Chains A and B, each alone.
Chain A
């Protein structure tokens, strides 16, 4: 399937960047991950905060449905999360916020190496995939909850 348009644009941008600039952009995104968390007073439909075995620290995913079925995410990362994972968090928040939830569920993970580049793809940097899977899980949980509520009503 095609990626959501903002993600597609970012992939194409990263693919054209020389290695040094790609790294610099990833660092900037990692810095930006600090502002991806929920803002004070912000209300969400779903909060999924946990420390999983496959990640080095706690990751909190906060999801709100806007305009019916459009996803709005906030993500809070523990300090021990790897830099690449921080960068990917900011990239995904920027590019998936506002996407229809069904579209988020269908985003394939094969874009990751196109963004981070061959040199940074290593077995031990696999947690870059983790944030996307957590975002999809949150969407699925919210949709399941809605279905259950509709069924129960």
Chain B
């Protein structure tokens, strides 16, 4: 394990490319690519990796929610993931969707999970192997989890509202212009149906990208502590909610706070701004 990774609060959840290369043929490891670019996996992926698409595979196809325990078990089974399989997530966009998929796996208690530091971009940049060959793994049995543990990892609107009313710590990880209310979409993206701009009153702005280096790897523990403890004043025992617009950027920050820095109570408010900014009479603060 490299010294940067070993310094994190939970170094077991992060691997570097060398580690992954050594484990590509390990039958107890399944590599999962999760992207925003819908066809990127088809253009080439890490040998042996399977593709889990956030919308098709992790979301319920009717209600704005996630798959239930049966759906999760079926997803694992068709990707050759058993309850003892170590799943290594990676993807585009600095691992936004990899962290999102990791987060969904935690809702079902699959804690044998890791993220590839630097994600797809760094792997490609370093000229490491990619293939278009899709491996079909034999189906395995994944016992249906007893339930989905939303309470530990996820905040719903009402909980986010009560969190705000209690004056507890809330981190808005969107871009500064989204936070201020100047725009309702992030740079280079379409508007995703938000009626109001601004942020949840009391939330502190800390764009997700501050936790990442230019090569998409996570910053060191020391650098991250300077941001989240030093600048934002977050304490390890604080009850913290992170949000963005639909929950993928805040999954990245959730991962940083909970696993890299060891904050004890961190939840991702996945309804995020597309829920809060549309909810009738939800309080909004602007900072234009």
Q: Are B36 and A124 in contact (CB under 8 A)?
A: yes
Q: Is A53 an interface residue (CB 8 A)?
A: yes
Residues from chain A with a CB closer than 8 A to the CB of B18 are: none
Q: Are A83 and B190 in contact (CB under 8 A)?
A: no
Residues from chain A with a CB closer than 8 A to the CB of B187 are: 53
Interface size class of B (residues with CB under 8 A): 10 to 19
Q: Are A26 and B39 in contact (CB under 8 A)?
A: yes
Q: Are B192 and A83 in contact (CB under 8 A)?
A: no
Assuming the A-B contacts A56-B188, A119-B56, are A125 and B38 also in contact, with contact meaning beta carbons closer than 8 angstroms in the complex?
A: yes
Q: Is B42 an interface residue (CB 8 A)?
A: yes
Q: Is B40 an interface residue (CB 8 A)?
A: yes
The residue on B at minimum CB distance from A83 is B39
Q: Is B55 an interface residue (CB 8 A)?
A: yes
Selected from B37, B39, B188, the residue in CB contact (under 8 A) with A53 is B188
The residue on B at minimum CB distance from A82 is B37
Count the A-B residue pairs with Cβ separation under 8 angstroms: how many?
46
Q: 8 Å CB contacts to B: which residues of A65-92?
A: 82-84, 87
Q: How far is the CA of A26 from the CA of B43 in the complex (A)?
A: 10
Main secondary structure of the interface of A (DSSP, over half): helix
Q: Is A23 an interface residue (CB 8 A)?
A: yes
Assuming the A-B contacts A82-B37, A83-B38, are A123 and B43 also in contact, with contact meaning beta carbons closer than 8 angstroms in the complex?
A: no
Q: Are B40 and A83 in contact (CB under 8 A)?
A: yes
Q: Are B43 and A83 in contact (CB under 8 A)?
A: yes
Interface size class of A (residues with CB under 8 A): 20 to 34
Q: Are A30 and B188 in contact (CB under 8 A)?
A: no
Selected from A30, A56, A123, the residue in CB contact (under 8 A) with B39 is A30
Q: Are B38 and A122 in contact (CB under 8 A)?
A: yes
Q: Are B39 and A87 in contact (CB under 8 A)?
A: yes
Question: How many Å from the CB of B100 to the closest CB on chain A?
Answer: 13
Residues of B within 8 A of A (CB): 36-40, 42-43, 55-56, 187-190, 192-193
Q: How far is the CA of A30 from the CA of B37 in the complex (A)?
A: 12
Q: Are A27 and B192 in contact (CB under 8 A)?
A: no
The residue on A at minimum CB distance from B41 is A83
Query: Per-residue 0/1 for A21-51: is the Cβ within 8 Å of any B Cβ (1 yes, 0 no)?
Result: 0011011001100000000000000000000
Residues from chain B with a CB closer than 8 A to the CB of A119 are: 56
Q: Is A54 an interface residue (CB 8 A)?
A: yes
Q: Are B39 and A122 in contact (CB under 8 A)?
A: no
| List of 9 A-B pairs having minimum Cβ-Cβ separation, nearest first | A83-B39, A126-B190, A82-B37, A27-B42, A56-B188, A123-B192, A83-B37, A120-B38, A83-B40
Residues from chain B with a CB closer than 8 A to the CB of A56 are: 188
Q: How far is the CA of A123 from the CA of B192 in the complex (A)?
A: 7
- Given contact pairs A84-B38, A84-B39, A124-B36, enumerate 11 new A-B contacts (beta carbons under 8 Å): A23-B42, A30-B39, A30-B43, A54-B188, A55-B188, A82-B40, A83-B40, A83-B43, A119-B56, A122-B55, A123-B193
